[in-house]
Amino acid sequence: MNLRQSALKGWRAHALAAALGVLAAGALPPLNLVPLLFLAIPGLLFLVGHAPNWRGAATRGLVFGLFHHMAGLYWVTNAILVMAAEFWWAVPIAVPLLSLVMAVFIAIPCGLARLVPPGWRRLLLFAGAWVLGDLARQFVLSGFPWNLLASVWEMPGLLGLVFMQPAAWIGAHGLTLATILVTGSMALSWRFRFGALAALIVWGGAGLLRLREPAPPSGLTAVIVQGNVSEADHRDHGRDPQWAARVFDTYLALTRQGVAEAGDARPLVVWPETASPYALAQDGGAREAIAAAARPALMTLSGTIRFESNAVAHNSLVAVAPDGSLAGFYDKAHLVPYGEYFPSYAHILLGEQGFVPGPGIRTLHLEGLPAIGPLICYEAIFPAQVVRESDRPGLLVNITNDAWFGNSSGPRQHLAAARLRTVEEGLPMLRAANTGISAIIDAHGRITARLGLDRRGVLVAPIPGFLPPTLAGKLGLAGPFTFSLFCCGVALWRFIPGTKRKIQCKK
């Protein structure tokens, strides 16, 4: 043991932390190599336990988190490369800087865990503090809860589907808490390891039971249009009227094709984010052209820029009725900083404002359709923040443009997050992505139809039905927040002031 401890100092400990962070990233979508997490989390706890003090443990956690997020978020660079002429300088620093900020939320649990003795208390404090950090990530600096460990269970096939289901009761953050407790138990005695195995068996059994809960069919059909227009073309030709007309005609032609494939059904047509080069809220002629191409569809939903009378611009979803009128709209509320808007200080320096956020989550009530919960782009990655529970929809519609990220992990991870939202809320989702991956997802997170990356075409399939409100949907973020606080409280109970016990820093 002394040899191992002496070898785990300085750069060797940091190198091992970095390797474990990359290993943990392999468990995330699209690889979903979940067994790697049974090595990475116990390995990180081992490093924490052999750190000289809590500062050393936090540093090791910071290194783990930095390399974990760099491996999981490498695809962000693709978006910068689209604008390389202006932002070439950001290519080498953007992902490391973002990853460093996110790594802080792993460093803190590692530092705290070092303050209690090894064993189940350390694991409880580590897991609870990790999830509290993930909850903070959902709000700090506009929020970016990407690559939650819960997403490792979004693996292809029945096994992944089964192990996703508890998110309906405990949410994605609760699923992360369970994942850390189970994988971290490998660092404890055999008794805890067998307990973790038993927990996995119960976990799987509960998932199988939920999969047997039927969702009545909606009786409706969806036509999802995937135009496959590259972001480079948008940037190079976006101001060219002829190019805009060609793109619009492409979407109209695909819509006619999809409606024809739907046969006698009156479908719901969905175009992705930024699909229309025209401002549909103001352009009645463009709406009429869409309505004519979609006839006899019940409604067409499309991404567009919406302008208000004072020239304020919103990234929006609009509903085009069969007569070409504007049946409703939703303005994106959760904007991407520096991508869609500039904070006030940057606005002063750069002289740009970007989009203005909408008022928040809302439900669209459109004739002939179940109530719709619209989500634009990465709004779908925020657990417990996709549905207005007081006006619960029967269908989620996520429009997005993942063309920025190319054929990388980004679009696949985005789809994984969307699947978790359907399980959490018990609601089906129609997902229209400009360059893919477009999909229809049922209320159990099962993908019933999909159109892959870099393909132009239409997806025509039945719209799944919805399930009753889930426990996770009712509790929201309060559920996992309470679970995590409970874990931390139990771990620290013997060490709180007044118990005449001091915090021990044993190795």
Q: What are phi and psi of 423, to 5 degrees?
A: -70, -45
Alpha helices in 277-377 (DSSP H): 284-294, 344-350
- Spatial neighbors of 351 by CB under 8 A, at least 6 apart, are none
377 in catalytic set: yes
Which is more confident, 270 or 503? 270
With bands split at pLDDT 50, 70 and 90, how would you rate the model's confidence at 502? very low
Please report the pLDDT score of residue 235 as a whole number: 74
Count CB neighbours of 309 within 10 A: 5
Domain boundaries, the chain: 2-212+477-495, 221-466
What are the CA-CA distances from residue 417 to residues 154, 184, 421, 425, 462 (Å)? 9, 23, 7, 13, 22
Question: How many helices and strands (H and E) does the chain possess?
Answer: 18, 11
Dihedral angle at the C-alpha atoms of 409, 411, 417, 419, nearest 10 degrees? -120
* Mean pLDDT value across residues 105-116: 96
Q: Output the pTM of the full model.
A: 0.92
Please report the pLDDT score of residue 284 as a whole number: 95
**What's the pLDDT tens digit per position in 45-69?**
999 999 999 999 999 999 999 999 9
* Mean pLDDT value across residues 263-276: 94
**What's the pLDDT tens digit per position in 294-311?**
999 999 999 999 998 777
- Residue 317 in tokens: 């979803």
* Mean pLDDT value across residues 141-166: 92
Q: Which of 110, 154, 231, 332 is catalytic?
A: 332
Please report the pLDDT score of residue 439 as a whole number: 98
Q: Which 8-state DSSP code applies to residue 408?
A: S
- Residue 231 in tokens: 């972001």
Please report the pLDDT score of residue 496 as a whole number: 57
273 in catalytic set: yes
Q: Which of 273, 340, 424, 425 is catalytic?
A: 273
Question: 3-class SS at 224?
Answer: strand
Identify whether the C-beta of residue 270 lies closer than 8 Å to the C-beta of residue 224.
Answer: yes
Which is more confident, 9 or 237? 9
Q: What percent of the chain has pLDDT over 90?
A: 79
* Mean pLDDT value across residues 209-227: 95
Whole-number Å distance between alpha carbons of 463 and 467? 13
Question: Is the confidence at residue 503, as pLDDT, over 60?
Answer: no
What's the topology of domain 221-466? Nitrilase/N-carbamoyl-D-aminoacid amidohydrolase (3.60.110)
Which is more confident, 134 or 497? 134
With bands split at pLDDT 50, 70 and 90, how would you rate the model's confidence at 8? confident
**What's the pLDDT tens digit per position in 114-127?**
999 999 999 999 99
Question: Is the confidence at residue 6, as pLDDT, over 60?
Answer: no
Q: What percent of the chain has pLDDT over 70?
A: 93
* Arithmetic mean of pLDDT over the chain: 91
Identify whether the C-beta of residue 332 lies closer than 8 Å to the C-beta of residue 400.
Answer: no
- Residue 275 in tokens: 């699909």
332 in catalytic set: yes
| 3-state percent breakdown (helix, strand, coil) of the chain, nearest 5 | 50, 15, 35
Please report the pLDDT score of residue 122 as a whole number: 96
Please report the pLDDT score of residue 87 as a whole number: 76
Q: Which of 110, 231, 377, 424 is catalytic?
A: 377
**What's the pLDDT tens digit per position in 330-386?**
999 988 877 777 665 554 444 456 788 899 999 999 999 999 999 999 999 999 999
**What's the pLDDT tens digit per position in 351-360?**
456 788 899 9
> H or E element: which one contains 200?
helix 190-211
Alpha helices in 34-73 (DSSP H): 37-49, 54-72
Which is more confident, 89 or 136? 136
* Mean pLDDT value across residues 229-239: 76
Classify strands 447-451 and 438-441 as parallel, antiparallel or unpaired: antiparallel
**What's the pLDDT tens digit per position in 16-48?**
999 999 999 999 999 999 999 999 999 999 999
